[in-house]
Amino acid sequence: MKSKDVETLVTYRMERSKEAIKAAEIMLQNNMLTFTMNRIYYSMFYAVQSLLATDGVKFSKHGQVKGYFNREWIKSGKFPAGAHCRSCALLQNRS
């Protein structure tokens, strides 16, 4: 994938992530907690997908995204060690 294409894809996925956070905020204000958690999960998922695009990889299944991210970013130390801890429970519970 060309550098410009990667940049466009990262921008698109991060916009989706931001939209999901906005939706989560609205749902939280309306005490819709299950839907709030769903939107937070998807916000994180889109953000991780954008990160993986910088590696030139693309997956269709959530498990593949989580597996690759864990192996190539968490275990390798590319992603700050403590930054993912709070997110792990949400990602694990989503499966």
Q: Where are the alpha helices (DSSP H) in the chain?
A: 3-29, 33-53, 62-69, 85-94
Instruction: pLDDT band for 86, please (50, 70, 90 cuts).
Output: low
CA distance linking residue 17 with residue 51, whole number of Å: 12
The residue-averaged pLDDT of 78-87 equals: 66
Q: Where do the structural domains in the chain lie, given as residue ranges? A: 3-94
pLDDT at 53: 94
More confident residue, 47 or 80: 47
Q: What confidence tens digit (pLDDT) does each residue in 15-65 have?
A: 999 999 999 999 999 999 999 999 999 999 999 999 999 999 989 899 999
